[in-house]
A and B are shown apart, each in its own frame.
Chain A
Amino acid sequence: MFGFNRYDLRLLINLFKMNVRDRYLGSSLGSFWAISNPLFMLALYTYIFGFVFKVKLPGAETTLAYVIWLISGYGPWIATTEAIMGAANSVVGASGLVKNMAFKTELLPIAGALVGAINLAVSFVFLLVLLAWAGTPITVHVIFLPVVMVLQFFWIIAVGMWLSAIAVFVRDILQILPTLLTAIMFMTPIFYPFESMPAIIQKGSLANPFYQIAEAYRSILIGNEFPSWPGLLYVATISGVILHFGLAAFRRAKGSFDSAI
Chain B
Amino acid sequence: MVQALRDISLTVPRGKIVGILGRNGAGKSTLLRLLGQVYTPTTGRIEVNGQIAGLFELGGMGNPNLTGREYATRYLRFMGVAADSVLAVLEEIADFSELGDAFDQRIRTYSSGMAARLYFAVATAYQHEIYLIDELLSVGDEHFQAKCWRRMRERLLRGASGVLVTHDWTAIVKLCEQACVIDEGRFSFVGSSDSAVVSYLKLPVPKPGVARFPASTPPEFLLESGKDSRIRLPVEILEDTAVDCAISIEMLRIGLGWEIVILSDYHPIGDTAGTYSADFHIAALPLAPGKYSLNLFLTRRPVEGERQRVGLDCRSWTYGNGLTLRVEGKALPSAVTLPFASRSIPPEVA
B56 touches A100 (CB 8 A): yes
B60 touches A18 (CB 8 A): no
With a CB–CB cut-off of 8 A, which chain A residues contact B61?
96-97, 100-101
Residue on A with the closest CB to B58? A100
Verify if B138 is at the interface (C-beta below 8 Å from A). Answer: no
A99 touching B52 in the complex, CB below 8 Å, given contacts A25-B66, A254-B40: no
With a CB–CB cut-off of 8 A, which chain A residues contact B39?
255, 258
Can you list 20 A-B pairs with a CB-CB distance of less than 8 A? A11-B80, A22-B65, A25-B65, A26-B65, A96-B57, A96-B62, A97-B60, A97-B61, A99-B33, A99-B38, A99-B60, A100-B57, A101-B60, A101-B78, A102-B38, A102-B52, A103-B78, A255-B40, A255-B42, A258-B33
Which B residues are within 8 Å of any A CB, using their own CB?
33, 36-42, 52, 54, 56-57, 60-63, 65-66, 74, 77-78, 80
With a CB–CB cut-off of 8 A, which chain A residues contact B74?
14, 18
A258 touching B42 in the complex, CB below 8 Å, given contacts A25-B65, A99-B33, A101-B54: no
Complex Cα gap A254–B33 (Å): 13
User: Nearest chain A CB to B134's CB is how many angstroms away?
Assistant: 10
User: Nearest chain B CB to A28's CB is how many angstroms away?
Assistant: 12
B77 touches A101 (CB 8 A): no
Verify if A203 is at the interface (C-beta below 8 Å from B). Answer: no
With a CB–CB cut-off of 8 A, which chain A residues contact B36?
102
Closest 3 CB pairs of A and B: A100-B60, A255-B40, A102-B37
A14 touches B63 (CB 8 A): no
User: Nearest chain A CB to B119's CB is how many angstroms away?
Assistant: 11
Q: How many chain A residues touch the partner (CB < 8 A)?
A: 19
Which A residues are within 8 Å of any B CB, using their own CB?
7, 10-11, 14, 18, 22, 25-26, 96-103, 254-255, 258
Q: Which of B57, B66, B80 contacts A99 (CB 8 A)?
A: B57
B38 touches A101 (CB 8 A): yes
Complex Cα gap A11–B41 (Å): 24
User: Nearest chain B CB to A232's CB is how many angstroms away?
Assistant: 36
A96 touching B65 in the complex, CB below 8 Å, given contacts A101-B78, A255-B42: no
